[in-house]
Amino acid sequence: MTIPAITETDASKKVRQVLQNVDKTVTDNKTETDASIAAKKFGAWDHTTYSAGNNYQAATDGFVVFNCGPSSSTVDIAGFTDNTTTPAKQVAGAYASHSGAPKEATLTFPVKKDDYWKVEITTGVTINLGWMPIG
C-alpha cells in the first residue's frame, strides 16, 4: 500500500500563519508587559521641604508618607488627593487622643501622576512629610 504524500492546502497554510501571528503577538505583549512592570520600581525618597496645608502636584504615581509627634496634644491629620489644584477628596486620616503619654500619628496614601495632594493637621507638632515616587 502506498501512502499518499501530504501536501499543505491553502486553508492549512492560513491556519499556520494565524497561529504564528498569535504566537508573535503574545510574545510581543509579554515583552512589553515585562518592561512596563520593570519600570514601576520605587524611586528615591523626596524629603523636599513639604508643609502641611499646602497643595502639591505629583510628577509621578507615588505615595505621600507623613508622620508627626510626639505631642502632648491630640493629633488629628487628614490626607487629600484629587485632580483639582485644591484637593478636597479626603482619602486618609489618623487621630490620636492625648491621655498623658506623647502621641504620634502616621498617614500614608497613594496619589496618581498629575493629581494634587495635601496633608492637613490640627495641632502644631513636629512633622515629617515625604514623597515616594513610583517609576
Amino acid at 130: G
Q: Quote the cell numbers at residue 91.
A: 482619602
Check whether 58 has a pLDDT greater than 90.
yes
DSSP helix/strand/coil, 63: strand
Range of 32-41, 88-97, 110-119 with top mean pLDDT: 110-119
Check whether 109 has a pLDDT greater than 90.
yes
Distance CA 43, CA 28 (A): 27
Residue 104 to residues 22, 90, 113: CA-CA distances in angstroms? Answer: 56, 20, 29
**One domain, residues 129 and 82:** yes
In this predicted structure, which of 25-39, 49-63, 66-80 has the lowest mean pLDDT?
25-39
Domain that holds residue 24: 10-39
Indicate whether 27 belongs to any domain.
yes
**One domain, residues 18 and 80:** no
| pLDDT for the residue 38 | 59
**One domain, residues 101 and 71:** yes
Through-space distance between the first and last CA atoms of the chain, rounded to whole angstroms? 67
Q: Quote the cell numbers at residue 10.
A: 491553502
| pLDDT for the residue 90 | 92
**One domain, residues 30 and 72:** no
| pLDDT for the residue 87 | 95
Q: Where is pLDDT greater, at 127 or 64?
A: 64
Q: How many CA atoms lie within 13 A of 124 on its CB side?
A: 0
Indicate whether 2 belongs to any domain.
no
